[in-house]
């Protein structure tokens, strides 16, 4: 893993007059995203809870971190592997689960694009429960790069169990249980446009393809999408307690990782 090699590629292309098509600065990346995304997706991706003060505070806090390289160590070979959850992972950074990433790609398949990026770079991906493509298809694009499945634990235990077993079968290397999204956050940007993507049926494929979810419906999601969405609202958002941990643990032998956000209140999850 030598991430710095990507800059060599850019400089070498520059010798042939080819400039990078991607922005190199975060601010420009955000500007380009705002220009390219439909306003409803942009508001969901860029917005935070309340007056977004904690969102800004998190960025400021992160800026206080610096890296000091060590000298005289002859670092011609850099080893970025880390030992975590009983396995050796190729990179010390992960792709966080982003529940609407599927909608952010031009072709509407951003989960697959993210998995392909993971495959190419060796950066492990945490695949969100809320995806455009089913978790099996996302896993299929990961190549040799490890993937983890992020679980929003449904209140219906049979659906939770089914999702975990599907993730196991699809080859995910761990289950990441998100703890902080049992209730919808107060998100002014989304509220102002009455915009909540899942209620419009987006990113629910892991549910609508799930046998346990489908079994709870009178008519299939293809025949009656509205009822499927309504049922989703009833099973999403489980206020877990420590007492649920033994049950979650009993579902799988995979590493079980619990996840919560810094206190900026991004709920609902995505």
Residues that bind ligand FMN (CB under 6 A): 45, 58, 96-100, 128, 130, 150, 178, 259, 261, 266, 269-270
Of 21 and 40, CB closest to ligand FMN? 40
User: C-beta of 68: minimal distance to ligand FMN in Å?
Assistant: 22
Of 162 and 178, CB closest to ligand FMN? 178
At 172 the three-state DSSP class reads coil
Of 212 and 267, CB closest to ligand FMN? 267
What's the DSSP call for residue 258? Answer: E
Q: Which two tokens stand for residue 113?
A: 């694009």
Length of the chain: 270
At 240 the three-state DSSP class reads coil
**115: region left, alpha or beta (phi > 0 left; psi from -120 to 50 alpha):** alpha
Q: Is the dihedral of CA 1, 82, 96, 154 positive or negative?
A: positive
Cβ atoms of residues 79 and 23 within 8 Å: no
Of 58 and 209, CB closest to ligand FMN? 58
Of 231 and 266, CB closest to ligand FMN? 266
User: C-beta of 239: minimal distance to ligand FMN in Å?
Assistant: 16
Of 114 and 150, CB closest to ligand FMN? 150
Determine the distance from the C-alpha atom of residue 250 to the mean position of all C-alpha atoms in its chain, rounded to a whole number: 24
Of 17 and 66, CB closest to ligand FMN? 66
Contacts of 155 (CB under 8 A, 6+ apart): 234, 235, 236, 237, 238
- In angstroms, the CA 262 to CA 242 distance is 20
Of 189 and 214, CB closest to ligand FMN? 189
Q: Which residue is nearest to ligand FMN (CB)?
A: 99
Backbone angles phi, psi at 177, to 5 degrees: -95, 115
Q: Report CA-CA distances (Å) from 249 to 147, 164, 177, 204, 244.
A: 19, 11, 11, 25, 9
User: C-beta of 116: minimal distance to ligand FMN in Å?
Assistant: 19
At 40 the three-state DSSP class reads helix
- In angstroms, the CA 12 to CA 22 distance is 16
User: C-beta of 61: minimal distance to ligand FMN in Å?
Assistant: 10
């Amino acid at each position: 893993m030598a991430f710095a090699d990507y800059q060599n590629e850019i400089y070498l292309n520059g010798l042939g007059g080819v400039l990078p098509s991607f922005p190199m600065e975060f601010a420009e990346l955000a500007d380009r995203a705002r220009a390219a995304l439909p306003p409803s997706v942009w508001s969901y991706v860029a917005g935070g809870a309340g007056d977004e003060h904690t969102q800004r505070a998190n960025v400021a806090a992160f800026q206080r971190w610096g890296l000091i390289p060590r000298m005289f160590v002859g670092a011609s070979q850099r080893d970025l592997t880390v030992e975590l959850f009983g396995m050796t992972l190729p990179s010390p950074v992960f792709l966080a689960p982003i529940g609407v990433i599927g909608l952010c790609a031009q072709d509407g398949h951003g989960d697959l694009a993210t998995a392909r990026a993971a495959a190419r770079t060796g950066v492990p991906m945490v695949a969100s429960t809320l995806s455009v493509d089913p978790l099996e298809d996302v896993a299929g694009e990961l190549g040799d790069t490890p993937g983890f499945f992020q679980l929003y634990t449904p209140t219906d235990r049979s659906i939770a169990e089914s999702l975990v077993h599907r993730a196991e079968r699809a080859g995910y290397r761990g289950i990441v249980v998100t703890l902080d999204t049992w209730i919808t956050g107060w998100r002014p940007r989304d509220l102002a446009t009455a915009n909540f993507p899942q209620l419009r049926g987006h990113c629910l494929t892991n549910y609508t393809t799930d046998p346990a979810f489908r079994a709870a419906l009178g008519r299939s999601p293809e025949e009656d999408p509205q009822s499927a969405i309504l049922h989703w609202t009833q099973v999403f958002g489980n206020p877990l307690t420590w007492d649920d941990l033994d049950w979650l643990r009993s579902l799988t032998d995979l590493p079980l990782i619990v996840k919560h956000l810094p206190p900026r209140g991004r709920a609902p999850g995505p």
